[in-house]
Amino acid sequence: MQVTVIGAGNMGRGIGHRLVAGGHAVTIVDRARRRPNGLQKSCAAQGGATVEAAEPGAELRGEVVILAVYYPGTLEIARGLGESLAGKVVVDISNPLNKTYDGLATAPGTSAAEEVAAALPAGAGAVKAFNTTFSSTLVEGQVAGQPLDVFIAADDEEVKETVAQLARDGGLRAIDVGPLERARQLEGLGFLEITLQQPLGLNFRSAWKLMS
């Protein structure tokens, strides 16, 4: 599958590692056209995987676009790209923290993912995923010997399955949590996970795991 990741920061590179591990073609878009650190080297061992860097304004390649930037940059990018996102699966990975990092910036009864969805053109499919995973754990693909759980919310089942397949291809465990409005709970879960890192000394190497 061809995937465009917008943002070459830690999360963009972490998700990129999983995409490469799954054998997919990845284009990393960033203002500074930063080289996707480590991804090209990883490709040598992954059949069919490719990694390229591109600048903003380049053609969006493939059927999936992952917005690996901070909120509200996700909204600005969705609005700026406009009709070029038509027909794409658009993945919002953000946790919309407020300026003091002690709560969510979104209003009650909505989520960053739903705001992104409202900004997309007709025919684009919005998905919430990867907001409860950290970059270092994504590079490794596991925590404590357990594959990462990727919680996925979307209104369109086909769109949701596309992202689930990307996760599974990368050795992760995809979990369908329901419609896009479940992003409200996922973003709360992501916020809680972030707040626990310093008090518990977790160093952003923890993960939520659904067990039974």
What is the C-alpha to C-alpha distance for residues 113 and 181, in angstroms, rounded to an integer? 8
Mean pLDDT computed over 105-132: 97
Q: Is the pLDDT of residue 175 over 70?
A: yes
Specify the pLDDT at position 141.
Answer: 95
Q: Are 39 and 51 in contact (CB under 8 A)?
A: yes
Specify the pLDDT at position 52.
Answer: 87
Mean pLDDT computed over 160-188: 98
Specify the pLDDT at position 53.
Answer: 84
| Strand residues in the chain grouped as ranges (E) | 2-6, 25-29, 50-54, 64-67, 89-92, 125-128, 142-143, 146-147, 149-153, 173-178
pLDDT in tens, 87-118: 999 999 999 999 999 999 999 999 999 999 99
Mean pLDDT computed over 63-73: 97
Q: Is the pLDDT of residue 35 over 80?
A: no
What's the pTM?
0.94
Q: Is the pLDDT of residue 41 over 70?
A: no
Q: Is the pLDDT of residue 40 over 70?
A: no
Q: Is the pLDDT of residue 33 over 70?
A: no
**Domains recognised in the chain with CATH numbers:** 2-200 (3.40.50.720)
